[in-house]
Amino acid sequence: MRSARVHRTIRPRLLQEQITDLVSLAHAFLVISAGLLALISSSQSCARSLMSISILYFVWDSVALLWRKNQYSSGLVLSFILHHVICLYVLIPAVVFNKDVMTLLLAMVLAELPNPLRLLPIVFPSSTRFFLSWWGSDLRKRTGGPQFWVMFIATRFICTILYAKVILPRALLFSTKSGSTALLIFSILAFLSVSLCPGVLHQQATSSPSLPF
C-alpha cells in the first residue's frame, strides 16, 4: 500500500518531467553536434546562433521550473535558477558583442557531453536497457550512473584547464571570466553534493527534470 501511495504521488508529474527532459536532451545533442561542426569549421556565425538557441533554452527552462516550483525543494529551485542566470550572464554579452564566442562554445560542448548519458535512460527507458543496467535503481538513474560521473569529472577537468590556460588570461569580456569562475565553482559544489549527500540528492531527483550543472 505504501508503494502504491508513492506511485500515485509521483505519477502526475511524469509527463511534465518527460517533456522537460526531452527538451534538455535535444539541447544537449544540438550543442554537441552543431557545436563540434562550428568548432571544426571555425564558424563564428554558427557559434553565435547556437549560443542564441542556448540562451532561449535557459530562459525556457527557468520559466518551466518556476511554473512547477511547488514540485521541487526550495534549494533545488534556487540551484537551477542560479545556474541558468549565470549561464545567461556569460552567453548574452558574448553573443551581443561577438567576443569570446569560440572559447565559450568549446566549454559548452564539453559541459554538455555527459548529459545524454544521464538523460537517454530517462527519456527513452524502453530502448536503453544497456544504460539502465548500469544505473541500478530508478532513483540512482535520475542523478546519473557511474559512466555519467566519469564523463562529468573528465569534461570538468578539461574545462578547468581551458579556464586556466585560455579564459582567464585571454578572455576579452569580464562576464566571460567572472561567469566561468562561478560555473566552475558551481560544478565542484554539485559534485560534492552528490558525493557527500547522495541520499538527499536522490530524494530530490525523484521530482526534478534534470540536475543543474
Domain tally, the chain: 1
Residue 64's alpha-carbon distances to 58, 211, 213, in angstroms, are: 10, 14, 17
In a domain, 210, yes or no: no
Q: What's the pLDDT at 150?
A: 81
Question: Domain range holding 109?
Answer: 2-205
In a domain, 157, yes or no: yes
Q: Decide: 90 and 175 in contact? Cβ < 8 Å.
A: yes
Q: Decide: 164 and 170 in contact? Cβ < 8 Å.
A: no
Q: What's the pLDDT at 98?
A: 96
In a domain, 168, yes or no: yes
In a domain, 212, yes or no: no
Q: What's the pLDDT at 213?
A: 43
Q: What's the pLDDT at 183?
A: 92
The H or E element spanning position 51 is: helix 44-67
Q: How many CA atoms lie within 13 A of 146 on its CB side?
A: 3
Q: What is the pLDDT along the chain (213 residues), one digit of tens a residue?
A: 444 444 444 444 456 777 888 899 999 999 999 999 999 999 999 999 999 999 999 999 888 888 776 666 677 778 888 999 999 999 999 999 999 999 999 999 999 998 888 787 777 766 555 554 444 444 444 555 677 778 888 888 899 999 999 999 999 999 999 999 999 998 888 777 766 554 444 444 444 444 444
CA gap 29, 6 in Å, rounded: 33
CB neighbourhood size of 187 (10 A): 19
In a domain, 101, yes or no: yes
Q: Which residues of 104-140 are buried (b: 16+ CB within 10 A; e: fewer)?
A: bbbbbbbbbbbbbbbbbbbbeeeebeebbebbeeeee
Q: What's the pLDDT at 208?
A: 43
In a domain, 213, yes or no: no
CA gap 165, 97 in Å, rounded: 22
Q: DSSP assignment, residue 120?
A: H
Q: What's the pLDDT at 194?
A: 64
CA angle 87, 91, 97 (to 5 degrees): 155
In a domain, 211, yes or no: no
Q: What's the pLDDT at 86?
A: 95
Q: What pTM did the predictor assign? A: 0.78
Q: What's the pLDDT at 180?
A: 95
